[in-house]
């Protein structure tokens, strides 16, 4: 046995429950979980032995939707109206980024994510293969990689919100070719799950949606797409398809709504539309912090799960909610759901923890490999220090408090160790697969240059944020 963790409190997420084992032994061999059970029933010896007393071990968190390259722009697109966020606020800075800047931002975003217990990220990016090669595989982190297919020219800052985006078929075709190359390159790579990534219905031509639909169906591949993500998108759908048309209505006509689709956001859909999506098996990627920050709306994750839908949680991008700390995201998701429904029992801690693990894995279509602690699954797991001030004290009688303490109290500093495919990635709260200080330093230097170079274009775009800070002062 390669690794044995002894006497840890394990939360397995097996069989539709938390699967609590108060004193467990976990054996890892050749990247997979080989044995797990009560310590007094498991007799194994490992090349590396870990004393798990005072810890809780659970499956690694699954962040189902993220644009980590934009971490370089953290702080650059907050506190503006939703209609201005993409084109007038984020856009000028994003257009000033080089491919190397995006790689640097992704390293920082993945560093933040894995130190908060994330072992798989649903990455969504243009030229995502480069992020897989230069960020995810070197850092040793799993990725469900979607190649962004976008047919809209990047220079759209002068367009009004009701001006239809001009489509370029060559851009769409090039994106589709990159997507197919992604499958060819990584289909058999253990830590990588490629997915199709048409960005959104308002950003690709109809023929592209139909082509991706057909390829997804014939090849059994998943589609990761932004769907019904707010007022800006809805105004574009009406401008492109006609008054009173909706994203869900058009996608339904195109035959895309099925269990191969992972739909990010959905807060712009009606309740009846969301029920139809859940019935069709569409998986949801909810991004609470991002959508609260950008749209002032709480994503309907509770409603979607109540309707029988599968849902996971994503951190989206740093320029909206602030970053990729998944522990913080879980607390936000649970609390804003309660406030949104004026119900303190909504989205309880144990449900949030399952959504963060096994249900998030199901949303990405990889729950046969990750998301729970059971024999034969990949050894993606995190170990949390129960003596950390943000989580202590924990008790087990008359009930266990470890789960609510994890969701409502813990900070990412409580997570001491993270393993991916049985390999240590974080040890004693430190990334061991790369130099964290160098990652932060490189991102800082690049961000200063990007913000300075884009300053004039940002001011000219005329967002409310530029009106407040256009001369560099509040």
Q: At 473, is the pLDDT very low, low, confident or very high (cuts 50, 70, 90)? A: low
DSSP 165: P
Mean pLDDT, residues 44-64 taken together: 97
Q: In this model, does residue 421 exceed pLDDT 60?
A: yes
Please list the residue range(s) of the chain that carry CATH number 2.30.40.10: 3-59+372-431
Mean pLDDT, residues 422-436 taken together: 98
Mean pLDDT, residues 206-212 taken together: 98
pLDDT of residue 58: 98
Encode pLDDT of 318-370 as tens digits.
998 889 999 999 999 999 999 999 999 999 999 999 999 999 999 999 999 99
pLDDT of residue 160: 76
Q: In this model, does residue 387 exceed pLDDT 70?
A: yes
Question: What mean pLDDT is reported for the chain?
Answer: 96
Q: In this model, does residue 155 exceed pLDDT 80?
A: no
Looking at 109-123, 242-256, 349-363, 456-470, which range is the least confident one?
456-470
Q: In this model, does residue 317 exceed pLDDT 80?
A: yes
pTM of the entire structure?
0.96
pLDDT of residue 162: 87
Q: At 288, is the pLDDT very low, low, confident or very high (cuts 50, 70, 90)? A: very high
Encode pLDDT of 292-310 as tens digits.
999 999 999 999 999 999 9
pLDDT of residue 470: 62
Question: What does the buried/exposed string (b/e) look like for 293-319 if buried means 16 or more CB atoms within 10 Å of the residue's CB?
Answer: bbbebbbbbbbbbebebbbbbbbbbbb
**Rounded distance, CA 280 to CA 283, Å?**
9
Q: At 198, is the pLDDT very low, low, confident or very high (cuts 50, 70, 90)? A: very high
Q: At 469, is the pLDDT very low, low, confident or very high (cuts 50, 70, 90)? A: confident
The answer as to CATH 2.60.120.380 being correct for domain 3-59+372-431 is no
Q: At 13, is the pLDDT very low, low, confident or very high (cuts 50, 70, 90)? A: very high
pLDDT of residue 267: 95
Q: In this model, does residue 157 exceed pLDDT 60?
A: no
Task: Give the residue, 217 or 320, on which the prediction is more confident.
Answer: 217
Q: At 230, is the pLDDT very low, low, confident or very high (cuts 50, 70, 90)? A: confident
pLDDT of residue 257: 98
Encode pLDDT of 16-40 as tens digits.
999 999 999 999 999 999 999 999 9
Mean pLDDT, residues 62-71 taken together: 98
Q: In this model, does residue 156 exceed pLDDT 70?
A: no
Q: pLDDT over 90 for what percent of the chain?
A: 92
Which three-class secondary structure state does DSSP give residue 298? coil
Angle of CA points 194, 202, 135, to nearest 5°: 30
pLDDT of residue 29: 97
Q: In this model, does residue 436 exceed pLDDT 90?
A: yes
Which three-class secondary structure state does DSSP give residue 284? strand
pLDDT of residue 376: 97
Question: What does the buried/exposed string (b/e) look like for 401-428 if buried means 16 or more CB atoms within 10 Å of the residue's CB?
Answer: bbbbbbbebbebebbbbbbbbbbbbbee
The answer as to CATH 3.20.20.140 being correct for domain 61-364 is yes
Q: At 471, is the pLDDT very low, low, confident or very high (cuts 50, 70, 90)? A: low
Please list the residue range(s) of the chain that carry CATH number 3.20.20.140: 61-364
pLDDT of residue 299: 95
Complete edge-to-edge strand list for the sheet that includes strand 192-198? 61-66, 118-125, 142-149, 192-198, 223-227, 261-265, 283-286, 311-313
DSSP annotation string for 90-116: IHHHHHT--HHHHHHHHHHHHHHHHHT
Q: pLDDT over 70 for what percent of the chain?
A: 98
Encode pLDDT of 236-273 as tens digits.
999 999 999 999 999 999 999 999 999 999 999 999 99
Q: Please compute, for residue 365, the number of CA atoms within 13 A of its CA located in the half-sphere on the CB side.
A: 22
pLDDT of residue 430: 97
* Tokens describing residue 277: 């999506």
DSSP bridge pairs for 197: 148
Which three-class secondary structure state does DSSP give residue 119? strand
């Amino acid at each position: 046995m390669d690794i044995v963790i002894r006497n840890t409190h394990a939360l397995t997420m097996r069989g539709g429950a938390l699967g609590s084992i108060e004193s467990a032994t976990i054996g890892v061999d050749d990247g997979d979980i080989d044995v797990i059970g009560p310590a007094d029933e498991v007799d194994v010896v490992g090349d590396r032995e870990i004393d798990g007393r005072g810890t809780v071990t659970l499956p690694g968190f699954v962040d189902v939707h993220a644009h980590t390259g934009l971490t370089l722009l953290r702080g650059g697109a907050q506190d503006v109206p939703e209609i201005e966020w993409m084109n007038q606020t984020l856009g000028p800075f994003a257009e000033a980024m080089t491919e190397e800047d995006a790689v640097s931002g992704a390293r920082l975003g993945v560093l933040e994510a894995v130190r908060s217990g994330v072992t798989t990220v649903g990455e969504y990016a243009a030229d995502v293969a480069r992020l897989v090669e230069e960020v995810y595989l070197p850092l040793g982190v799993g990725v469900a990689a979607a190649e962004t297919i976008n047919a809209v020219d990047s220079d759209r800052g002068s367009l009004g919100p009701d001006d239809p985006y001009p489509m370029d078929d060559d851009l769409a075709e090039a994106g589709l070719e990159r997507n197919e190359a992604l499958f060819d390159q990584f289909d058999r790579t253990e830590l990588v799950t490629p997915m199709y990534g048409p960005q959104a219905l308002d950003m690709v031509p109809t023929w592209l949606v139909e082509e991706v639909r057909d390829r997804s169906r014939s090849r059994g591949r998943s589609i990761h797409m932004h769907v019904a993500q707010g007022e800006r998108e809805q105004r574009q759908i009406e401008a492109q398809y006609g008054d009173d048309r909706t994203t869900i209505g058009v996608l339904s006509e195109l035959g895309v709504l099925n269990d191969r689709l992972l739909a990010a956001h959905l807060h712009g859909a009606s309740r009846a539309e969301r029920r139809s999506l859940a019935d069709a098996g569409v998986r949801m990627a909810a991004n609470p912090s991002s959508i609260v920050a950008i749209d002032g709306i709480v994503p309907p994750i509770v409603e979607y799960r109540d309707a029988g839908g599968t849902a996971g949680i994503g951190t989206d991008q740093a320029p909206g909610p602030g970053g990729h700390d998944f522990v913080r995201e879980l607390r936000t998701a649970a609390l804003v759901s309660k406030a949104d429904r004026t119900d303190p029992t909504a989205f309880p801690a144990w449900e949030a923890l399952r959504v963060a693990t096994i249900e998030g894995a199901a949303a990405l279509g990889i729950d046969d490999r990750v998301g729970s602690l059971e024999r034969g699954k990949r050894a993606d797991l995190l170990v949390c220090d129960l003596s950390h001030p943000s989580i202590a004290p924990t008790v087990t009688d008359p009930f266990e408090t470890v789960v609510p303490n994890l969701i409502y109290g813990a900070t990412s500093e409580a997570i001491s160790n993270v393993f991916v495919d049985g390999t240590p990635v974080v040890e004693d709260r430190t990334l061991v697969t790369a130099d964290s200080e160098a990652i932060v330093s490189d991102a800082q230097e690049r961000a200063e240059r990007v913000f300075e170079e884009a300053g004039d274009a940002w001011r000219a775009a005329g967002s409310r944020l530029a009106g407040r800070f256009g001369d560099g002062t509040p």
